[in-house]
């Protein structure tokens, strides 16, 4: 492609509303333009990169044995009513009525396709002999994200690869899951991304295992907990800590238990201000209702309870914060004065709570708190649990190492769904004995736009993007320094044509512009291999070749210019291939 014939609107200035590097660079390098919040147009360079990522995803899905399909984005709302996801998605689900003849039809734009695919399979599969198989598609999804942000990292329409596996038993599900997991590792490695598979919460959707694939990045919206000593990594919702149960049999003697007046003072901060204490000195008491029964969850004042951990510790299926009426019932006080001393419901405490001497906490009476609260003497616990989010420096649950918190971008998710959708949509099969069972499913998503954004977020320098060869919109950029110089133009054009004939994606900057201007743009758009053809160099029989990540160019004889480029490309492809897992 010749630069003068394409559309690459580069920008010198950093756009004011773009906060993160990927957003700034994708705008500045002319990859995308915003239509409105959460909606972006892909320009030629951006779309080439996106299509290359899509091609890698497709190749690896097919290599893993998945079959490509294409399902409607427009879906009838009643499928979401049957699975309960109309409510679960809430405002995120874009849905509306249209007029057809004399009636209204209620439709949704697919945020994902579990419903549609399960409905389809319920009509196509009858016997165990047809299973297992995995289907995938690459298609636009729609979600009315509350806060679309950071450019194409979170948008209201985005390209997703979604795959679904259908199995008769858990062994088949595990095999499908492992094949997808391995394909994901290959995809991100081929895309030149540093990635981290992390254990993830299965969530209310059910199922027993899921992993998110994260690209560690300072601006990532997700928090990842990982061990410095072993391969343990999990997302914040899921991450365990290696903290041990506290022996409370001895109890702790300390200051006298004292009730102090705290009129209208209900938050941790307000209590700390009034009583001149640190949040670490306080016991935060949260009243939950677990499977219909109230329970008081205790965490240290400066910690956050992790609801997934609370739910697992209680082995509860439903868990929600109690309303004012239930709080009054168990504490005898309005909201803000709950505490473990004398409360009328069971206690569930985090390990760290039992370490607090002379704690401060609500007194289960309006406008009052207790000071000098000590475990065993003033309230009792059977055991302590891991109930809070992990934090930097916590011990690892798997080894002697220490946990650290890093930020990441979720670029993919693999999930053992189980039978949630097959049950609610009637997708079942009969076994060898003519017995009917729901099909066991897995679902597997990749955000294709986020692959591109994650590359731009993690592979750049002060001058612009540094594309990996596999995803770069073009592999080689040829820069003739002076287009008015006929020799220069004829040599540059010869290379351009030769390389194109050899199947290389080449961009030639044939603009009438100063060399410095072209170099700046070349660095900004970040094409991996650059060849410079200049009048002086030609006189010495040379052209210059340089990788985007190299400081200085190599001078090579004009005659071997094309061979040199092809050689370097081949070597680079081999280097990348060597890092791809099996
Ligand atoms: P998030 O937690 O970031 O909102 P999610 O868990 O809702 O994502 P999934 O339903 O697991 O996302 O979708 C599969 C993949 O699609 C995600 O791993 C992510 O890469 C991508 N994705 C999800 N939402 C968006 C979005 N709004 N914009 C771009 N990509 C997205
Ligand atoms: Mg997810």
At 4-34, the pLDDT tens digits run 999 999 999 988 889 999 999 999 999 999 9
At 187-223, the pLDDT tens digits run 999 999 999 999 997 654 444 589 999 999 999 999 9
Q: What is the per-residue pLDDT for 202? A: 65
d(CA 119, CA 424): 10
SS (H, E, C) 433-453: CCCEEECEEEEEEEEHHHHHH
d(CA 99, CA 103): 6
At 312-329, the pLDDT tens digits run 999 998 999 999 999 999
Pure H helices in 84-214 = 85-89, 114-124, 170-190
At 361-418, the pLDDT tens digits run 999 999 999 999 999 999 999 999 999 999 999 999 999 999 999 999 999 999 999 9
Q: Which of 447, 449, 454 to mutate to test the pocket of ligand 1 (most atoms within 8 A of CB)?
A: 447
- The closest residue, in CA terms, to atom 19 on ligand 1 is 447
Q: 81 CB under 6 A from ligand 1?
A: no
Q: 452 CB under 6 A from ligand 1?
A: no
- The closest residue, in CA terms, to atom 22 on ligand 1 is 447
> What is the atom index within ligand 1 of the atom nearest the CA of 112?
10
pTM of the model: 0.92
Angle of CA points 192, 445, 146, to nearest 5°: 100
- The closest residue, in CA terms, to atom 4 on ligand 1 is 154
Q: 450 CB under 6 A from ligand 1?
A: yes
Q: Please, how many CA atoms are within 13 Å of residue 200, restricted to the half-sphere of its CB?
A: 23
CA 215 / ligand 1 centre spacing (Å): 13
| Beta carbons of 207 and 415 less than 8 angstroms apart | yes
Q: What is the per-residue pLDDT for 148? A: 84
Residue-averaged pLDDT of the chain: 95
In tens digits, the chain (582 residues) has pLDDT values of: 999 999 999 999 988 889 999 999 999 999 999 999 999 999 999 999 999 999 999 999 999 999 999 999 999 999 999 999 999 999 999 999 999 999 999 999 999 999 999 999 999 999 999 999 999 999 999 999 988 888 999 999 999 999 999 999 999 999 999 999 999 999 999 999 999 999 997 654 444 589 999 999 999 999 999 999 999 999 999 999 999 988 887 766 788 999 999 999 999 999 999 999 999 999 999 999 999 999 999 999 999 999 999 999 999 989 999 999 999 999 999 999 999 999 999 999 999 999 999 999 999 999 999 999 999 999 999 999 999 999 999 999 999 999 999 999 999 999 999 999 999 999 999 999 999 999 999 999 999 999 999 999 999 999 999 999 999 999 999 999 999 999 999 999 999 999 999 999 999 999 999 999 999 999 999 999 999 999 999 999 999 999 999 999 999 999 999 999 999 999 999 999 999 998
Q: Which ligand is nearest to the CA of 188?
A: 1
Residues with Cβ within 8 Å of 517's Cβ and at least 6 positions away in sequence, in order, are none
> What is the atom index within ligand 1 of the atom nearest the CA of 160?
16
Q: 174 CB under 6 A from ligand 1?
A: no
Q: 444 CB under 6 A from ligand 1?
A: no
- The closest residue, in CA terms, to atom 23 on ligand 1 is 447
């Amino acid at each position: 492609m010749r630069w003068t014939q394409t559309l690459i609107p580069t920008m010198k200035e950093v756009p004011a509303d773009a906060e993160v590097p990927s957003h700034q660079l994708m705008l500045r390098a002319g990859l995308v333009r915003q239509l409105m919040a959460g909606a972006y147009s892909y320009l030629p360079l951006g779309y080439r990169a996106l299509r290359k990522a899509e091609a890698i995803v497709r190749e690896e899905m097919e290599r893993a044995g998945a079959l490509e399909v294409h399902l409607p984005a427009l879906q009838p709302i009643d499928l979401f009513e049957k699975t309960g996801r109309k409510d679960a998605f809430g405002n995120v689900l874009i849905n509306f009525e249209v007029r057809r003849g004399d009636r209204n039809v209620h439709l949704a734009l697919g945020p994902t396709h579990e419903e549609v695919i399960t409905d389809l399979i319920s009509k196509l599969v009858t016997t165990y002999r047809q299973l297992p198989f995995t289907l995938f598609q690459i298609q636009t999804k729609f979600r009315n994200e509350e806060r679309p942000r950071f450019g194409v990292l979170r948008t209201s329409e985005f390209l997703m690869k979604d795959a679904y596996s259908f199995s008769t038993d858990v062994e088949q599900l595990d095999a499908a899951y492992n094949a997808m997991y391995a394909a994901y590792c290959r995809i991100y490695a081929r895309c030149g991304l540093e990635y981290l598979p992390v254990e993830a919460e299965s969530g209310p959707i059910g199922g027993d295992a899921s992993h998110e694939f994260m690209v560690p990045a300072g601006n990532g919206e997700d928090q990842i907990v990982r061990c410095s000593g072993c391969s343990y990594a999990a997302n914040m919702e899921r991450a365990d800590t290696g903290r041990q149960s506290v022996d409370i049999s001895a109890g702790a003697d300390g200051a006298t238990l004292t009730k102090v007046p705290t009129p209208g003072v209900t938050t941790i901060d307000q209590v700390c201000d009034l009583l001149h204490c640190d949040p670490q000195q306080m016991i935060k008491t949260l009243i939950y209702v677990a499977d219909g029964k109230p329970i008081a969850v205790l965490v240290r004042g400066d910690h956050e309870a992790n609801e997934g951990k609370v739910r697992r510790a209680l082995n509860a299926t439903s868990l929600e914060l109690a309303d004012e009426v239930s709080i009054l019932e168990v504490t005898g006080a309005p909201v803000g004065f709950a505490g473990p001393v004398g409360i009328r419901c069971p206690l569930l405490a985090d390990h760290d709570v039992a370490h607090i001497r002379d704690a401060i906490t609500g007194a289960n009476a309006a406008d009052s708190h207790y000071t000098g609260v000590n475990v065993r003497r003033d309230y009792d616990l059977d055991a302590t649990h891991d109930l809070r989010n992990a934090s930097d420096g916590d011990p690892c649950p798997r080894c002697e190492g220490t946990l650290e918190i890093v930020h990441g971008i979720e670029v993919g998710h693999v999930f053992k769904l189980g039978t949630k959708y097959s049950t609610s949509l009637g997708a079942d099969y009969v076994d060898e004995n003519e017995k009917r069972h729901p099909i066991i499913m897995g679902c597997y998503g990749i955000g294709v736009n986020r692959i591109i954004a994650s590359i731009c977020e993690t592979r750049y320098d002060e001058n612009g993007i540094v594309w990996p060869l596999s995803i770069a919109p073009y592999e080689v950029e040829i820069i003739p320094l002076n287009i008015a110089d006929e020799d220069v133009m004829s040599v540059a054009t010869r290379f351009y044509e030769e390389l194109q004939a050899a199947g290389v994606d080449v961009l030639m900057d044939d603009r009438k512009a100063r060399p410095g201007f072209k170099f700046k743009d070349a660095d900004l758009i970040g094409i991996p291999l650059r060849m410079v053809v200049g009048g002086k160099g030609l006189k010495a029989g040379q052209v210059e070749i340089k990788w985007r990540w190299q400081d200085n160019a190599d001078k090579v004889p004009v005659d071997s210019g094309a061979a040199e480029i092809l050689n370097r490309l081949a070597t680079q492809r081999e280097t990348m291939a060597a890092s791809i897992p099996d």
